[in-house]
Amino acid sequence: MINLYDLSLDDLESLLSEWGEASYRAKQIYNWLYEQRVADIDAMSNLPKKLRERLKQETVLGTLDVVTEQSSRRDSTTKRLYRLADGQLIESVLMPYDDHRRTACISSQAGCALGCAFCATGQMGFVRNLTATEIFEQAMRFAVELAAEGERLSNVVLMGMGEPFQNYTAVMEAIHRMMTDLGIGARHITVSTVGLVPQIRRFADEGLQVTLAVSLHKATDTERSALMPINKRWNLEELIGACRYYVDKTGRRISFEWAAIAGENDTPEEAHKLGKLLHGLNCHINIIPLNPTGAFAGKPADMAAIQAFIAVLEQYNLSATVRVRRGIDIDAGCGQLKSKVISLNEIH
């Protein structure tokens, strides 16, 4: 079966030409897919019935198969488990906000090879890279469903399963499709990395206004290497150098993610280390109280400690905010995607 989301407009025209159809039918189908965002082929009402029947017989609207879906009772966050065509499993999350933003958190890999100690996905190991279409389709599915409710997908963050910069080419293709086919502005797309230095520099050279977020979590090499093995490959000096290159090249502020772990990296002493590391860099620190995962014993920092931490950062003219924790009751928060995937893989 041909996945219509795999096809460019030129590809569609070629396919329909093989079928003996007029070339303008390709533009009609493309409009139904990406402007009208229909959920099924029968909704393409200006296509001849014969063409619709052939499309239903020989093509599909996506290959992601929903296995389970959970909704948070606390904040209406939705987490979805998808089975891919080869049986692998990934998770995606949709987060609604009171200001009408609708943000999709999507995956770029099945599993992750980088082994960050506090991340559930890292604890499960690496299976494979996703294709550009598999990445894009996660956002597309949410966009279609929101359109049916009179809403639109406004933001996408590549902070789900996997390290996006280890799947660089597919991720960049998917980002371009989100911008062109879904109409999501570059500034409303965020890519998160644990710190792959060459790819950060390459990303800076892309000339896009896509936001870059770097997972930092510790401000010295010894401590960061213990949490994040990638630091042994590219240390903090190399990482911050690449981040400065990104800021200089793009003129954009960079974001740093800081999972606040009680007694580990939430103290004034740690804040001073971070302040000295980042002083003078155009950046913002997103502080996220650690989300629980089964294989990491750390606990989330409390708000009093975090506020004291932020007060120290202000002494270095660094801005920081506490990210609202969402979907925690369904394991949909940052670093939590994976545990249910493992159990379902064992079952199936």
CB of 23 within 8 A of CB of 17? yes
pLDDT exceeds 50 at position 175:
yes
What mean pLDDT do residues 272-289 have? 96
Encode 195-214: b = buried (16+ Cβ within 10 Å), e = exposed: bbbebbeebbeeebebbbbb
Where are the chain's structural domains? 2-60, 65-347
- CATH number assigned to the domain with residue range 2-60, chosen from the 4 options 1.10.645.10, 2.60.40.1930, 3.40.50.2000, 1.10.150.530: 1.10.150.530
> Which pLDDT does position 295 carry in this prediction?
61
* Whether the model pTM is above 0.85: yes
> Which pLDDT does position 312 carry in this prediction?
97
Which has more confidence, 195 or 122?
195
> Which pLDDT does position 335 carry in this prediction?
46
Read off the amino acid at residue 339.
S
Which has more confidence, 123 or 257?
257
pLDDT exceeds 90 at position 165:
yes
Quote the CA–CA distance of 146 and 135 in Å, as a whole number: 18
Quote the CA–CA distance of 151 and 47 in Å, as a whole number: 26
- Average the pLDDT over each of 93-97, 185-189, 208-212, 273-277 and give the range with the smallest value: 93-97
What percentage of residues in the chain have a pLDDT greater than 90?
79
Quote the CA–CA distance of 67 and 344 in Å, as a whole number: 9
> Which pLDDT does position 48 carry in this prediction?
96
pLDDT-derived band at 73, boundaries 50, 70, 90:
confident
- CATH number assigned to the domain with residue range 65-347, chosen from the 4 options 2.60.120.260, 3.10.310.10, 3.40.50.880, 3.20.20.70: 3.20.20.70
pLDDT exceeds 80 at position 238:
yes
> Which pLDDT does position 347 carry in this prediction?
35
pLDDT-derived band at 280, boundaries 50, 70, 90:
very high
Please write the tens of the pLDDT for every residue from 138-152: 999 999 999 999 999
SS (H, E, C) the chain: CEEHHHCCHHHHHHHHHHCCCCCHHHHHHHHHHHCCCCCCHHHCCCCCHHHHHHHHHHEECCCCEEEEEEECCCCCCEEEEEECCCCCEEEEEEEECCCCCEEEECCCEEECCCCCCCCHHHHHCEEEECCHHHHHHHHHHHHHHHHHCCCCCCEEEECCCCCHHHHHHHHHHHHHHHHHHCCCCHHHEEEEECCCHHHHHHHHCCCCCCEEEEECCCCCHHHHHHHCHHHHCCCHHHHHHHHHHHHHHHCCCEEEEEEEECCCCCCHHHHHHHHHHHCCCCEEEEEEECCCCCCCCCCECCHHHHHHHHHHHHCCCCEEEECCCCCHHHCCCCCCCCHHHHHHHHHC
Residue 53 designated active-site: no
Kindly name the residue from 105, 112, 116, 334 that is annotated as catalytic: 334
> Which pLDDT does position 20 carry in this prediction?
96
pLDDT exceeds 90 at position 306:
yes
Q: Are strands 283-289 and 254-260 parallel, antiparallel or unpaired?
A: parallel
> Which pLDDT does position 136 carry in this prediction?
98
pLDDT exceeds 60 at position 339:
no
Please write the tens of the pLDDT for every residue from 239-276: 999 999 999 999 999 999 999 999 889 999 999 999 99
pLDDT exceeds 90 at position 16:
yes
Residue 18 designated active-site: no
Kindly name the residue from 13, 91, 134, 264 that is annotated as catalytic: 91
Mean pLDDT of the chain: 90
pLDDT-derived band at 126, boundaries 50, 70, 90:
confident
> Which pLDDT does position 119 carry in this prediction?
76
CB of 279 within 8 A of CB of 239? no
pLDDT-derived band at 294, boundaries 50, 70, 90:
low
> Which pLDDT does position 333 carry in this prediction?
46
> Which pLDDT does position 293 carry in this prediction?
60
What mean pLDDT do residues 200-218 have? 96
pLDDT exceeds 60 at position 84:
yes
In this chain, the answer to whether the domains covering 2-60 and 65-347 adopt an identical fold is no
Quote the CA–CA distance of 201 and 320 in Å, as a whole number: 24
Closest CA relative to residue 190, chosen from 221, 231, 243, 154: 154
pLDDT-derived band at 300, boundaries 50, 70, 90:
confident
Please, what is the Cα angle at 337 between 332 and 338, to 5 degrees?
Answer: 140
The structure tokens listed for 60 are 């599909």
pLDDT exceeds 70 at position 39:
yes
